[in-house]
């Protein structure tokens, strides 16, 4: 129908970025097509859209600008969720002195999220020059004077994969084993250890290379295993966010509603379509959220949600109108259709090796996508078809 007669949308899209819209710095042609379909006259989107990425070593504004340029449309920072965006909800940690790890603008990101007092790995390394010993060329030449006046660290934020893994691994473990005073000598190992907030648990991700690259999940795997080997105990996370965690999808749903309100679309958004290339983060996350929505409908009294900091979203009070979140898997990134028809179709889509995080149990039904299509343009067409939308 002509645009004037088109009713306001009752659905919205959650787009993953790497492997769906781009590969490294290259835009996928299907992405440009998809967004031509999504934009009306004047280049404005006709449907609410949120970009949901597990990238985190960048600023939200910069990611929005990058997307705008790649896709040829306006993208506001409010449409972008990075792996760390939901940390603004964890206000109980905002006034603590936090050690931040990752690369890129980690301090700026932490401040933008509401953290008042942050210490970088580099600052910690300078304050305690005897800690970082793997790279012999970086060892101090003579014995430095003892460190004085350095603040006690009260928590750790892991934003994304760092550059010198041995330095970050050593210093984070030092902080956890010393209760935030890595210069001190402790009689026993403190447990439970200081709070650790981690963003992005993707083991692998797709850039330009033919094979997947290490993600932050690979770094977390190293950290968890070193901690366990050294102490005999499990490393515990106060928060583990980014896809597939439910808090990330609740935050996305909140932003979808805000966008619809801003555009004056007053019919409630009922359905979300989450488009991604990684069965373990995009599909698992969307399916987990879909299950959460279903159980929230079943018991309007969300007793469980009230207690879990992971779930405390901007709209904890009442669950908004979304009823389902469908997962659409594309074959332009981590996931590839096997060319020959699988001999046992039911085995075809289930990853035999579990690439998920230690704290997310393996459930084959959660990595089964609602739909599998070739690329993001087909994904958008499919959703339009399901919604009788032209």
Which residue among 240, 257, 281 closes a domain? 240
Arithmetic mean of pLDDT, 382-390: 94
Residues 65 and 17 in one domain: yes
Cα(first)–Cα(last) distance of the chain, in Å? 7
Name the nearest CA neighbour of 124 among 178, 83, 70, 75.
178
Q: Are residues 223 and 328 in the same domain?
A: no
What is residue 345's predicted lDDT score, i.e. its pLDDT? Answer: 40
CA distance 256 to 251: 9
The more confident residue out of 42 and 48 is 48
> Given a cut of 50, is residue 307 above it in pLDDT?
no
User: Same domain, yes or no, for 249 and 224?
Assistant: no
Of residues 170 and 44, which shows the higher confidence score? 170
Cα separation, 57 vs 293, whole angstroms: 30
Distance between CA atoms of residues 254 and 320, nearest Å: 8
pLDDT at 117: 98
Identify which of 297, 295, 276 has the alpha carbon closest to the alpha carbon of residue 285: 276
189 in any annotated domain: yes
Range of the domain at 291: 11-83+244-300+320-332+366-387
One domain for residues 136 and 209: yes
Task: Indicate if the pLDDT at residue 313 is higher than 60.
Answer: no
Query: Percent of the chain at pLDDT above 70?
Result: 89
**What pLDDT sits at residue 6?**
77
Residue 338 lies in a domain: no
How much is the mean pLDDT over the chain? 90
The more confidently predicted of residues 187 and 81 is: 81
Q: What are phi and psi of 326, to 5 degrees?
A: -90, 140
Q: Where residue 284 sits, what CATH number does that domain have?
A: 3.40.50.1000
Query: What is the per-residue pLDDT for 3?
Result: 53
pLDDT in tens, 163-217: 999 999 999 999 999 999 998 888 899 999 999 999 999 999 988 999 999 999 9
Closest C-alpha to 312, from 15, 93, 127: 93
Whether 3 is covered by a domain: the verdict is no
Structure tokens at 238: 């106060």
User: Is pLDDT above 50 for 118?
Assistant: yes
């Amino acid at each position: 129908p002509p645009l004037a007669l088109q009713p306001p949308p009752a659905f919205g899209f959650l787009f993953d970025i790497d492997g769906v819209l781009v590969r490294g710095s290259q835009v996928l042609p299907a992405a440009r097509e998809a967004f031509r379909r999504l934009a009306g006259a004047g280049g404005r989107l006709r449907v609410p859209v949120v970009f949901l990425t597990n990238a985190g070593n960048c600023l939200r504004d910069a990611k929005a600008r990058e997307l705008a340029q790649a896709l040829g449309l306006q993208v506001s920072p409010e449409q972008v969720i990075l792996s760390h965006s939901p940390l603004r909800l964890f206000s109980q940690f905002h006034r603590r002195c936090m050690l931040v790890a990752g690369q890129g603008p980690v301090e700026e990101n932490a401040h933008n999220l509401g953290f008042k007092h942050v210490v970088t790995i580099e600052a910690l390394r300078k304050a305690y020059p005897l800690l970082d010993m793997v790279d012999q060329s970086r060892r101090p030449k003579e014995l430095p004077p003892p460190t004085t006046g350095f603040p006690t660290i009260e928590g750790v934020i892991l934003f994304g994969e760092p550059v010198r893994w041995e330095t970050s691994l050593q210093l984070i473990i030092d902080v956890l084993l010393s209760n935030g005073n890595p210069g001190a000598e402790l009689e026993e190992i403190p447990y439970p250890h200081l709070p650790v907030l981690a963003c992005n648990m993707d083991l692998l991700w797709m850039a330009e290379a033919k094979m997947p690259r290490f993600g932050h999940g690979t770094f977390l795997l190293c950290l968890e295993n070193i901690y366990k080997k050294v102490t005999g105990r499990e490393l515990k996370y106060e928060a583990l966010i980014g896809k597939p965690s439910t808090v990330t999808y609740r935050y996305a749903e909140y932003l979808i509603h805000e966008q619809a309100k801003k555009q004056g679309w007053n019919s409630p958004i009922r359905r979300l379509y989450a488009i991604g290339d990684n069965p373990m983060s995009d599909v698992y996350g969307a399916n987990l959220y879909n299950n959460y929505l279903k159980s929230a409908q079943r018991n309007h009294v969300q007793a469980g949600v009230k207690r879990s900091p992971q779930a405390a979203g901007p709209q904890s009070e009442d669950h908004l109108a979304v009823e389902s979140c469908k997962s659409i898997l594309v074959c332009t990134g981590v996931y590839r259709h096997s060319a020959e028809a699988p001999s046992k179709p039911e085995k075809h889509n289930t990853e035999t090796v579990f690439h998920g995080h230690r704290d997310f149990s393996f459930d084959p039904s959660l990595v089964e996508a609602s739909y599998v299509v070739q690329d993001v343009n087909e994904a958008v067409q499919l959703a339009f078809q399901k919604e009788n939308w032209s």
